[in-house]
Each structure stands twice: as C-alpha cells, then as structure tokens.
Amino acid sequence: MIITNNINKPHIDKIQTDIISPVDGEKISEIRFTTIDGLENIVKKAEEAFQKWSSKTLKSRTTVLFNYRDRLEKNRHQITDLIRKENGKTIDEADAEVSKAIEVVEFATSLQNQPLGVHLEVSKGVFCQSTREPLGVVSSITPFNFPCMVPNWTIPIALVLGNAMILKPSEKTPLTAHLLADILKDSGLPDNVFQVVDGGENIVNAICEHPQIKAISFVGSTNVAKLVYQKATHHLKSAVCLGGAKNHLLVLPDANPDMTASNVVASMSGCAGQRCMAASVMVGVGNIDNIVKLIVDKSKKLVLGKDIGAVITSDSVKKIEAYITEAIEQGANVLLDGRGSIIPETPNGFYVGPTVLDNVTPDMQIAKEEVFGPVLSIIRTHSIDEALNIQNASLYANGASVYTNSGSKASYVSSRLQAGMVGINIGIPVPREPFSFGGVKESKFGSSDITGESSIHFWTSLKKVTTKWNAEDQIDWMS
Ligand code: NAD
C-alpha cells in the first residue's frame, strides 16, 4: 500500500477518501482532505516562500527546473507505475504522460533564453522597458485522467516565472501529485514554493475565494470549469478553465485507409477513451465502408488490460455502457460491443472494451455528450458541408481532425472546423511546445491557453518602467 506523505501532517483533519486502483478494484491508499484552516496555513507558508523564490534570478530558478527534468527522467518507472495503479492506464500510456510533462519542463527552462519583455528607446535618452512580474501565490486544479501531464502543464511554467503554487489534484488520483512534490523538493525547490492540497468541491471553493491566491488554472469537466471560472473571476482572480470535449474526425473517401483506420482506433481507444482529445465521433463523408471495416478489424485485436487500460471507477463503466445501450435502442448499429468486458485475472477492475457504433445520428445523446470511454460513434453524411455542420454544432471545441489525401479539401475543412486544435491526418492533434494547448467554446473559459506563450502572460503581470537618463532640459521626453 502506498501511503502519501500528506498523511500525519498537522493541517489536515479526519475527512478522508480511499484511493481505489481501477486496475483491480483494490484499495491502494487513502488520503485525508485538507481543511479550510489547513489551506489558510498553506497559503501563509506559500506567501513567505514566494517572497524569497521570486527574488531569485530566472536563471537560478531555471537550475531547479533542470534538476526536476533529470529527476522526472530518473524516476520515470516509479511515476509510471504509480500512474498505472491509481489511474488504470497502461504503462506505455503512463510513460507518454511523463514524456509530455518533460516537454513542458523543457519549454519552461527555455524561457531564460527568451526576451520576456521589451526595451525601447522611445525618445532621445528615454527608455521604456516592460518586464514580466510573478503574481504571487497561484493555484492549479487538475482532473483524474492525466495525473502527471496536466499538473505539469502548469507547474514548471508558473514556478520558473517566480510564483508559488498550490496544486489541488483530483481526489481520485492524488498520489502522483504528492510524488511530484517530493521530486520537486529533491530537485532543490525551496520549501513551500510548491504544495499540494487534497479534497474536492469544498477545498476548490475555498481556493476560489481566498484573497491571497491570485490566479487559478483549472482542467476538468465543463460544468465544473464554468463554476470555477465564475467563482474565481467573481473573486477578482485571473482564471483559465479548460473543460470537456467532444472531438469529431471527418473522414473523406480519398483518405489513406490503413493509416486512417489505425489512427482513428488509437485516438478512440488510447487511455480507454478518457482523453479530452480522444476521437469520439467519426463523421464519414460518402462511401467509407472499407475504412469502417478496417477500424472494426483493428479494434477487435486490442487486448483489454494490455492495449486498453481501465476506466476510472465502476460508475464510469456504468455510465459508458448506458450511453452504448441507449444508442443501440435508438437505432445505432453495433459493429463491436465492449459492454460487460472482464479480465479474468482482475475481475473487479473497471473495464469497457472497444466499441464501434455505426449509423449514429447527430440527435442521439452519444453523439452530443462526452462519453469518456473507448467508444467510437460513426455518423454517415453525403457531403463535406453536411459533416462540417455536424462538427460546428457541437458545444465543445477542443480538437477536430480531417483525413484526406487532398490538400485543397484539407485546407477547406481545417479552416472551417470549430476547434482550438485541428489535425490533418492526425487523430490526437495535441500541439507540441511552444505551441499551446487549449480549446474554444465550452472546452475553455478564459482567454489564455494553458501552455505555450500565452501561459507566460497568464502567470505574470506586465510592469512598464520608463527611464530618462538625459538630464538636458531641452529634451522633451514626449518628442
Ligand atoms: P472533474 O470536473 O470532475 O474534476 C476536476 C477537478 O475539479 C478535480 O480536482 C475535482 O476535485 C474538482 N471538482 C469536482 N467537482 C467539483 C465541484 N462541484 N466544485 C469544485 N471542484 C470540483 O473532472 P474529472 O472527471 O476529474 O476529469 C475528466 C474531465 O476533464 C473530462 O470532462 C475531460 O474532458 C476534462 N479534461 C479536459 C482537458 C482539457 O484540456 N480541456 C484535459 C483533461 C481533462
């Protein structure tokens, strides 16, 4: 059993939750929730730590990040094992999370070599200079589905820019967050520059209301993202809140069949469909029967537990299966049914097998709502514009892709897809750093993205300094 280092600390009370591994349904740990008094104490310590941390040079803060990068690499196996245990994804998927976390750390270390402000001689002997100043104590609130990558969308960038961070991970997968805290400490990060608090709605509300917390980033479902955005901005904090998704892949008949099918299957089934960039709806234009057949053939070959991990809870299994059942009752044609899947060695684990539904219609719930399971809904259309209308009607707009061999059709479709991240012949169009991550419409609230250049702006304020060294009276600084 893993015992988090948060247990036995004085700021926590007796409210606690069990951490259940989705792999086999066994309890692997328990975590006590941070109380409101506990949060108060943590914010106070963070403020003190911020004063010293922010007074260090960017170069010196970057040294800690270099150490952190090395230790993420060195502890890769421990991290991936823990992610697998508490989240249920496969080791390869957990490993990919660590790689993406490292990529963001590398972006953060590159900031020391970038001009973060401007210095201009605006008149003779008169200079204006802008600098990026850290905000103070900031908070990051994260979901269960990427216990390492999503926290690391925010940790390295916010810290290297001089802030002190309080991370509130999902109460379903808090163990990786505590391990990250240990790794940061081991990297030389001064005490209390990074702290983890545990809990659910209560502690999130307290974070949103706390006057000393200056900015909040949130990643999770749309309903909660909206609440957090409203609460945080009501309390005059800057906020960026990433929400849920419903990603459409438009498949044109001239697409490369094998590549498209492999790509769609990987996108739909990776992380058991629990990705905000997962393929959820495939919109076929014209006759794509050969591609659908390949998708089913390839999906049938996926081995549960080896190629597809678990979903997070038994309730998730029920919810996903209910979506499938309802779609079939409403007329969808089930080409592959993942309901009732069990792994004999771990019969109490939480699994849904890959599922492919054909002839789904845009009005069905399964076509509109986030299913968050390894389920592909196929909608058939006659024209590109019909397919685009279906994608454009979605409330969500995180990712969307088109598969075609025609450059002009790819260009026509990609310019009309409504999504923050668009792919051409790629099923999970997550941009690499320094391109930023973020959707639009109900997939994100707030103007910044969560990584990349706009995150630099999010985690800092802009200070403008005007200097006049020329003492000659006749120089008009407005000239
Ligand atoms: P969630 O919204 O249930 O939880 C996210 C965080 O909010 C957790 O830390 C949780 O403790 C907290 N929380 C839950 N209910 C709350 C409430 N009522 N008030 C205040 N805080 C609350 O999300 P989840 O189930 O952990 O994660 C899955 C969701 O996250 C999916 O919708 C997925 O699409 C989304 N997601 C989005 C992105 C993105 O980049 N857009 C990335 C990853 C996950």
Query: 220: CA distance to ligand 1 center in Å?
Result: 2
Q: Are 351 and 312 in contact (CB under 8 A)?
A: no
In whole angstroms, what is the distance from residue 100 CA to residue 220 CA?
18
Give the C-alpha distances (Å, rounded to integers) separating 190 from 46, 61, 157, 320, 396: 10, 10, 16, 44, 40
Task: Say if ligand 1 is within 6 A of residue 276 CB.
Answer: yes
How far apart are the CA of 151 and the centre of ligand 1, in A? 12
- Answer yes or no: are the C-beta atoms of 434 and 452 closer than 8 Å: yes
Tally of CA atoms within 13 A in the half-sphere of 293 that contains its CB? 5
Helix (H) or strand (E) holding 401: strand 399-403
**Run of H or E including 196:** strand 194-196
State the pTM of this model. Answer: 0.96
CB 25 less than 6 A from any atom of ligand 1? no
Pull the structure tokens for residue 381: 């259309």
Residue nearest to atom 12 of ligand 1 (CA): 200
> What are the chain's domains?
12-243+443-465 (3.40.605.10), 247-424 (3.40.309.10)
DSSP class of residue 142? -
Phi, psi (rounded to 5 degrees) for 315: -65, -35
428 neighbors 270 (Cβ within 8 angstroms): yes
Helix (H, G, I), strand (E, B) or coil at 458: helix
Which residues have a catalytic role annotated?
276
Cα 223 to ligand 1 centroid, rounded to whole Å: 9
For every one of its 479 residues, what pLDDT tens digit does the chain have, with 9 covering 90 and above?
Answer: 333 444 344 444 558 899 999 999 999 999 999 999 999 999 999 999 999 999 999 999 999 999 999 999 999 999 999 999 999 999 999 999 999 999 999 999 999 999 999 999 998 888 999 999 999 999 999 999 999 999 999 999 999 999 999 999 999 999 999 999 999 999 999 999 999 999 999 999 999 999 999 999 999 999 999 999 999 999 999 999 999 999 999 999 999 999 999 999 999 999 999 999 999 999 999 999 999 999 999 999 999 999 999 999 999 999 999 999 999 999 999 999 999 999 999 999 999 999 999 999 999 999 999 999 999 999 999 999 999 999 999 999 999 999 999 999 999 999 999 999 999 999 999 999 999 999 999 999 999 999 999 999 999 999 999 998 766 665 565 65
Residue 148, number of CB atoms within 10 A of its CB? 27
Q: Which two three-digit tokens encode residue 138?
A: 């900031």
Q: Which atom of ligand 1 is nearest to the CA of 228?
A: 20
- 167 Cβ below 6 A of ligand 1: no
Q: Whose CA is nearest to atom 15 of ligand 1?
A: 201
Please tell me if the CB atom of residue 449 comes closer than 6 angstroms to any atom of ligand 1: no
Please work out whether the CB of residue 31 comes within 6 Å of at least one atom of ligand 1. no
Which residue's alpha carbon is at the smallest distance from atom 24 of ligand 1? Answer: 143
The residue whose C-alpha atom lies closest to atom 42 belonging to ligand 1 is 276
Q: Which of 134, 396, 457, 391 is nearest to 242 (CA)?
A: 396
